[in-house]
Structure 1
Amino acid sequence: MELLEYHCFKDLSNEEIEKLQNSAKKIILPSDYILYYKGDICEDVLFLKSGTVRIYIQPNELSCEEMTLYELNKGSQCVVNLFSTISGQKTIANAITQTAIEGWLVPKETINYLINNSPSFREFKMTSVNKRITALISLLADIKFSNIEQQLLNWLYVQGLDKIKITHDKIASIIGVTRETVSRNLKKLEHQGLIKLNRGFIVISDNY
């Protein structure tokens, strides 16, 4: 996947494309590389060409064990990274490479330039950030509480994908419940029309 193949860049003008390409920095990083710690302020937005990044909270935060909030793969966007870069606020989680990665770092200056000059980029990113940061905050608030259905739904939405390839076992491991609890509550969400379950992946409904 190349940088301009990201959906948010599809309607950029030639001038905006030139600005993006001239400022983007190509990176190659090994696995187990810390991209940022909770409390850092990001100055660049990461766009992945290949590899996987894990965004997680540490033990003793929100009275839970280490928990993966979501994984970043090519084509998906790290809302914690993006929100921190745009707002200048501290990150609310940590990010580490799970595999070696390739990608681009686009500096804050360029992101703000695109927000100010490209209506399509601004609408796409602001809508995405607003929805996903709201779901992320709800997910953090729900950790270790009884509303497993809502916790599952928030976790799924925070991934930022319409179709999530994952097993029930892995979800159970990530959010700290049994596989049976995950399967039972995913079925409830499917009956409500909020998701659709398929073998090996979950589809997020437009109703959410």
Structure 2
Amino acid sequence: MNEWQLKYPSWNAFLIQTFRSRYDELLGSFESVAFDPVEKRVMTYLANRSRQEGTDKIAISHQQLAYELGTTRVVISRILKSFEQQGKVMLLRGYIRLK
């Protein structure tokens, strides 16, 4: 690999770009966990998952969501209930529907 980096500048550039991309992704995740309020992280997660799956109905339990975001189920349930009261989501058994 070291020989290829010296011999092929394009390979070296590819490795550096790949490393930088992953490093930026890691820093972004760390920044989100460290500085964003949990409410923002929950809504961002749901919006991203909705976009990835192409549906506004997300099959996830409160416990799974808590695990994904590194918090407790009680906190997630409180936040989701607040979002439901604000009209941002609809809570269904085993699903969360974004409005």
TM interval, short-chain normalised: 0.5 to 0.7
Once the two structures are superposed, residues 114-165 of structure 1 have per-residue CA deviations (whole angstroms, 9 ceiling, x without a partner) of xxxxxxxxxxxxxxxxxxxxxxxxxx75323351111101100001130001
Question: Secondary structure of the residue that 2:43 maps to in structure 1?
Answer: helix
1:202 aligns with 2:92: no
C-alpha deviation, 1:194, in angstroms = 0.6
* TM score, norm. by length of structure 1: 0.32
Greater strand content: 1
Is 1:183 the counterpart of 2:73? The answer is no
- Choose the corresponding residue for 1:192, options 86, 92, 96: 86
Q: Kindly indicate whether the alpha-carbon contact (under 8 Å) linking 1:195 and 1:204 is maintained by their aligned counterparts in 2.
A: yes
Percent identity reads: 32
Please show how residues 81-96 of structure 1 align to structure 2 within 5 Å: none
Give the alignment partner of residue 44 of structure 2, picking from 148, 151, 154: 154
Given candidates 16, 22, 35, the residue that maps to 1:145 is 35
User: 2:92, 2:57 → 1: CA distance?
Assistant: 10
CA distance in 2, matches of 1:191, 1:143: 25
Query: Unaligned regions of 5+ residues in structure 1, if any?
Result: 1-37, 41-56, 65-139
Displacement of 1:186: 0.8
Instruction: Tell me what 2:9 maps to.
Output: none
- Return structure 1 stretches of 4+ with deviation > 2 angstroms: 61-64, 140-146
Larger radius of gyration: 2
Structure with greater helix percent: 2
2:18 equivalent to 1:39: yes
